[in-house]
């Protein structure tokens, strides 16, 4: 047992401290695999969601390129509301000729499964659809998309063709939704520890064994040659613990905290309708994470000024994804508009405020937030 406290060593080393570190690392992997319904060797620890997303996209597409398939004969299907780490990685490949189809969500922020499946072509190498949106909290029909892809795959495999790999970015999901990979009918999944109240700087990429993918980096044999850098045992252990608490306690929270969180969120919605009727709630009222509230308020002087004003009131919120810098509007909210939407509607994408409610948030908390929102400085006109 004394050795267990020395898991700080390099897990690739063969001296006793290294062996203890390796044991702790593999225990974290095995624990995570059991929870996600996969084999331990299908879990790869990363630095977080962004790296995991970039790794699976580049891995799958580079596998096709290594086979000699021309970029213009490679196709990807995704959605217009994915995390920027998905969209920007795909944009890099698109500049070299890879075809990318961006499926728009319906006005409620939920992508229709039939629209995603209809976009798949014989050249489709990858389909990537997030499980729950990081800005507006809408839950996407991942398992339905996955089931449809499996049907397409069965037909293609019978003809000897390559099949599309289905990946889902589930970073926002573990605290509230089941992340069993088979239940989602997915081939690969991204997870991020700090989105489930775990440590920052660690995530995981889950990839089923039948998927062929090239590593993002070269230089070592760690993570079965797929992620060559010395693993952080402490962070991997923290990831596994956070995942266990999030997923194994999810059913109990659904009975206790989730129902409570949903009720508090709905009180928030009700107060907004009564006290701030000009505010628009972005995304479906039902098909969203229990802790997410994303609103647009007309005539704000400046959304970032609003964030600072609320901060002085003891309220922490954001305008859009924290991963975006220098963007004047939320591309996620902008994607909710039809192509022919009048310019008068576009203010919603500029004036967004996003709140993530703590599991123990109270009705009093959201009442105080609404009172503070009513005091925000505004222009006479939008």
Residues 328 and 201 in one domain: no
Residues 135, 13 share a domain: yes
- Check whether 255 has a pLDDT greater than 70: no
Examine the domain organization and report whether 131 and 104 are in the same domain.
yes
- The pLDDT, as a whole number, for residue 1 is 29
Torsional class of 122: left (φ above 0), alpha (ψ -120 to 50), beta (otherwise): alpha
The answer to whether residues 189 and 59 belong to one domain is yes
Query: What span, in angstroms and rounded, lies between the C-alpha atoms of 244 and 258?
Result: 17
For residue 98, give its domain range: 3-248
Domain identity same for 243 and 275: no
Percent of the chain with pLDDT over 90: 72
Residue 293, pLDDT above cutoff 80: yes
- pLDDT value, residue 231: 85
Calpha distance 276→283 (Å, rounded):
17
Q: Taking phi first (over 0 means left), then psi (-120 to 50 degrees means alpha), and beta for anything else, what does residue 352 get?
A: beta
- Regarding whether 344 and 227 lie in a shared domain, the answer is no
262-280 in b/e form (b: 16+ CB < 10 A) is bebbebbeebbeeeeeebb
Buried b (16+ CB within 10 A) or exposed e, 201-226: ebbbbbbbeebebbbbeeeeebbeeb
- What is the pTM assigned to this prediction? 0.92
Residues classed as catalytic = 323
211 and 351 belong to one structural domain: no
Indicate whether 79 and 205 sit together in one domain.
Answer: yes
Residues 172 and 298 in one domain: no
| CATH at 346 | 3.90.1150.10
For residue 201, the domain's CATH number is 3.40.640.10
- pLDDT, tens digit, 9 for 90 and up, residues 24-71: 999 999 999 999 999 999 999 999 999 999 999 999 999 999 999 999
Is residue 381 situated within a structural domain?
no
Single residue among 202, 229, 248 that ends a domain in this structure: 248
The mean pLDDT of 345-353, rounded to a whole number, is 89
Q: Final residue of a domain: which of 196, 224, 248?
A: 248
Please tell me the total count of domains within the chain. 2
């Amino acid at each position: 047992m004394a050795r267990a406290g020395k898991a700080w060593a390099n897990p690739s080393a063969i001296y006793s401290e290294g062996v203890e570190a390796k044991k702790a690392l593999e225990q974290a992997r095995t624990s995570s695999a059991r929870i996600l319904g996969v084999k331990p060797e299908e879990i790869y620890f990363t630095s977080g969601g962004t790296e995991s997303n970039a790794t699976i996209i580049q891995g799958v597409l580079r596998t096709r390129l290594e086979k000699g398939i021309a970029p213009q004969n490679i196709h990807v299907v995704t959605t217009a509301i994915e995390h920027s780490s998905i969209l920007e990685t795909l944009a890099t490949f698109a500049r070299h000729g890879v075809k990318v189809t961006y499926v728009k969500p319906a006005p409620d922020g939920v992508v229709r499964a039939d629209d995603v499946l209809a976009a798949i072509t014989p050249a489709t190498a990858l389909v990537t659809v997030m499980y729950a949106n990081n800005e507006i909290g809408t839950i996407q029909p991942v398992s339905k998309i996955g089931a449809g892809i499996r049907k397409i795959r069965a037909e293609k495999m019978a003809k000897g063709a390559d099949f599309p790999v289905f990946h889902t970015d589930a970073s926002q999901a573990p605290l509230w939704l089941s992340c069993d990979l088979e239940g989602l009918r997915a081939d690969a999944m991204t997870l991020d520890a700090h989105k489930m109240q775990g440590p920052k700087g660690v995530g995981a990429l889950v990839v089923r064994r039948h998927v062929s993918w090239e590593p993002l980096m070269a230089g070592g044999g760690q993570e079965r040659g797929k992620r060559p850098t010395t693993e952080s045992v402490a962070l991997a252990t923290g990831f596994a613990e956070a995942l266990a608490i999030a997923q194994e306690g999810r059913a109990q929270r659904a009975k206790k905290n989730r129902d409570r969180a949903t009720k508090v969120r709905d009180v928030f919605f009700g107060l907004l309708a009564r006290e701030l009727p000009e505010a628009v709630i972005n995304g479906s009222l039902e098909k969203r994470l229990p802790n997410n509230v994303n609103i647009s308020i007309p005539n704000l002087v400046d959304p970032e000024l609003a964030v600072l004003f609320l901060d002085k009131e003891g309220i922490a919120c954001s305008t859009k994804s924290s991963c975006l810098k220098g963007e004047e509007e939320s591309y996620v909210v902008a994607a909710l508009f039809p192509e022919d939407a009048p310019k008068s509607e576009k203010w919603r994408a500029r004036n967004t405020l996003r709140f993530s409610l703590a599991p123990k948030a109270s009705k009093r908390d959201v009442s105080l937030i609404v009172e503070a929102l009513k005091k925000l400085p505004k222009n006479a006109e939008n």
